[in-house]
Each structure stands twice: as C-alpha cells, then as structure tokens.
Amino acid sequence: MTAVTGRTRLLALIADPIVQARSPAMANALLDECGQAGAFVLVPMQVPAGALAEVVAGLRRVGNFAGAIVSMPHKSAIVPLLDELTPVAATVGAVNVVRRTDDGRLVGTAMDGEGFVAGLRAAGRDVRGAACLLVGAGGAASAIAFALAEHGCASLAIVNRTAARATDLAARVRAAFPDAAVRVGHVPGARYDVAINGTSLGMRPGDALPMSRDVVERSALVAECVLAPEMTELLKLAAASGRAIHTGVPMLEGQMRLILAYLGVPA
C-alpha cells in the first residue's frame, strides 16, 4: 500500500458509534485495488450528535479534506449543514455521502437506496413486483423506500415507532412515484416477499427486535441494514424460522465504488 504523504487527500467516515464500521477497511482496500492508496485515505471519525455541526464546520477549513461517508445517526441531521443536495438527496431528505468541491462547498447525495437494491440483485433477488415491508423512516430507510418504489416494487408498507414519520415518508414516496402502492402500518395477516429492517435496532446487545416473530414468519426474505454484527438477532430469528436472509453488508458493497467515484477518486 502506498504511504500517506503530505499530498494525501483525506476522506472520512462520520458516525457514532464507529467501532463496528466496515467502511474504512472496505474503502481503503478499494483505493489500494484501483491504485489510489496514498493519494486518498479514509479514516473513521466518531462524532456524537451534539458535535456534528462543529465538526462539519471544522472540516470545511481542512484544505485536503475531499469528502465523507455519513452514517447513523447523522444522515438526516447533516442535511441543513450542507450547501447543496443532489436531486435524489433532496427528495429523500437524507444523505450518506458528502463531497467537498474545489471551491469549498459541501454537496450531499444519497446512495443507500441504490446500494440496497444493488446488493439484493447481486444476491440474485429483485424487488420488481415484490410486496415489501420497511421498518424505519430515518435516513437509510427513506433512501431505501424511494429506491424500492423506483425499481417497481408491487407494494410497500412502512412501519415506524413514530407513526408521523412513517406517514410523512409514505406521502413523499407517493408524491415522487404516484403509481406506487404505499401504505403506513401492518395489514393483519399480510405476507411479504421482502421484510427490511431500516433502523439501527440490532447494533447493540439487548436491542429490541425491529419486527415480531409473526411478521418474520410471514416474510419470504428478511433483510438487514445493520452492518455489524452481520448476523443480528433478527436474522438469527429469521434463519431459525426457515426464512431466507440478507445481511446489511451487500448494501455497503453495492455502493462503495459509486461512493468513491462521487468523492473524486479516479476509477
């Protein structure tokens, strides 16, 4: 791997917690693979919610800062701190990648949704025509909701602890895709082709399950957005119930090359 020098451009992962993060190892391995290690390096930055604005302001002043991957819990909170959003990020209302332009402006985009769909496709699964359940209405979940509608899911049920956020997300998806069959909440006895955990539940020991055993048993495939642990309690339950499972890692793999390209790394 080429050494880091005074010419190295800095990429960051902004998240809290960060010890479980896979992005730094994955990104730096890809930088090495494409001959850009040393020209760029990605480092993890543990940033608590209360410090996000201060950290973003500081990064603006770092001359060799090229951009950042943004993870939980900052994907929505960082939006008002940026100068510009891509159309997809503006629609979703969240970002997971921020690029610093040559003139110092910060531009955010959202790739979680496309990453999730790409990860499913890499596993031989397609959301087109699928009955989908999405638990969550935060940044990652919002991006996934729009991607599911864009890629032609037959129906989408959105469930969230705060019902108002689910209602708002459903309304925004319908506005962007008027033909999409989007509803809020469970329909008793409904069966799903794909049930997705779009929350952070499962990252910490003792977290509640994001969906009940009954819902798991009515779902053909149970999918995660949580990256670590890779086998969450939800996926363990699904596997024990004979359901097909899909971990959160393919979502990250499905977008990492796109993320690095957006951040200015030559292919």
Active site residues: 75
Q: Which alpha helices (H) appear in the chain, and where do they start and end?
A: 23-33, 52-60, 87-92, 112-122, 139-150, 163-176, 213-217, 233-240, 249-262
Residues composing the chain: 267
Q: What are the structure tokens assigned to 52, written together?
A: 């996000």
Q: Tell me which residue of 92, 86, 111 sits closest to 23, measured CA to CA.
A: 111
Distances from the Cα of 163 to the Cαs of 79, 148, 151, 166, in angstroms? 22, 20, 25, 5
The C-alpha atoms of residue 28 and residue 9 are separated, in whole angstroms, by 12
DSSP H or E stretch at residue 9: strand 9-15
Q: In terms of Cα–Cα distance, which of 241, 193, 187 is closest to 221?
A: 193
d(CA 22, CA 16): 13
CA–CA separation, 47 vs 16, rounded Å? 6
Burial (CB count <10 Å: 0-12, 13-18, 19+), residue 194: buried
Whole-number Å distance between alpha carbons of 126 and 239: 20
